[in-house]
Amino acid sequence: MTVKVRKAIFPVGGLGTRFLPATKAMPKEMLPVVDKPLIEYAVEEARQAGIEQFIFVTGRGKVIIEDHFDHSFELIEALKGRDKKVQLDSLSSSKFEPGQISYVRQQQPLGLGHAVWCARHLIKDEPFAILLADDLILSKVPCLKQLVHAYDENGGNIIAAMNVPPDQTSRYGIIEASKSKGNLHYIKSLVEKPDPSHAPSNLAVVGRYILSSDIFSEINNVKPGMGGEIQLTDAISQLIGRQDIYGLTFEGKRFDCGDKLGFLEANIAFALERSDLGDFRTVLSKYGG
Ligand code: UTP
């Protein structure tokens, strides 16, 4: 019997340098895909996976995220007064119960591992999820829900994984699996951004995780790695051999919205899914799409 995954961490403390100048004053996680900020997609996905406690690890210049998820009394009253029901409904997924959402400050962007570690006192000793909002996933079943399902069946630690073209391994954490059962791969080692000639596979880590709280003591022992940052991958690597760690090849398509091309592609894919934007196909066809 596994312990329910109730808490999720949303690390939003990064600098988003790949998206400058847009991210000079605005957090990358607030970039909209069609009409919704990336972070709101991640929050919706977490809710659909049964998450009850939402923990944001923020940094300088990220307060707009707190405002976005706050109750906006004046706006709501104005929309009600003007009978704008559709617009009012569009605000529902950014609504939280009092106490459901917490913010922790990462004073310096010292890496994803460090960002996760900043939330250790709020997670305490429960298993928890991590969602990276810039990894946007279009799927029939929300990606984190697929991970929770695999966790409920197998326990252990579960990381979302996908096959990438072999020449792109240097952009990802890459998994070496010792055995596979269906879409679950038992992880033997993890290599951060290997050159294609040294990559153990083309199975890459995607930004959705379910981890045990033992990861915090592992992060404590991680030395700064690539780019001087405390890498989450290094801490997970230290857990290998002591706990079961699986990669789950999920159903769905992932877009790297921290990258300009990935972000543009996500906008096209998500717009094409929207019934209220039926004319978008006509617009696209003007550009040869
Ligand atoms: P990225 O590797 O995309 O880094 O972080 P970044 O700084 O946001 O963006 P680039 O590479 O400079 O363009 C992956 C996730 O980890 C968070 C980011 O906010 C993003 O959600 N992160 C990263 C932190 O919260 N803190 C950090 O110190 C680093």
pLDDT tens track for 96-140: 888 999 999 999 999 999 999 999 999 999 999 999 999 999 999
pTM attached to this predicted model: 0.96
Q: Tell me if residue 208 falls in helix, strand or coil.
A: strand
Q: How far is the CA of 133 from the centre of ligand 1 (A)?
A: 10
Q: Which domains does the chain have, with CATH numbers?
A: 7-285 (3.90.550.10)
Whole-number average pLDDT of the chain: 94
* Residue indicated by tokens 């997970």: 236
Q: Tell me if residue 230 falls in helix, strand or coil.
A: coil
For residue 145, pLDDT over 80 is answered with yes
Q: How far is the CA of 262 from the centre of ligand 1 (A)?
A: 16
Which atom of ligand 1 sits closest to the CA of residue 106? 26
- In degrees, rounded to 5, the angle at the alpha carbon of residue 76 between the alpha carbons of residues 267 and 280 is 20
Which atom of ligand 1 sits closest to the CA of residue 11? 25
Best of 60, 112, 260, 261 to mutate for ligand 1, by most ligand atoms within 8 A of CB?
Answer: 112
* Largest distance between two CA atoms of the chain: 62
Strands of the chain, DSSP E: 7-11, 32-33, 36-37, 53-58, 101-105, 128-131, 135-138, 157-163, 173-181, 184-192, 203-211, 245-249, 253-256
Phi, psi angle pair for 76, to nearest 5°:
-65, -45
Give the pLDDT mean for 261-280: 94
Identify the residues whose C-beta falls under 6 Å from ligand 1. 11-19, 28, 57, 106, 109-112, 114-115, 132-134, 258
Contact 170, 193 (CB under 8 A): yes
Give the pLDDT mean for 254-263: 96
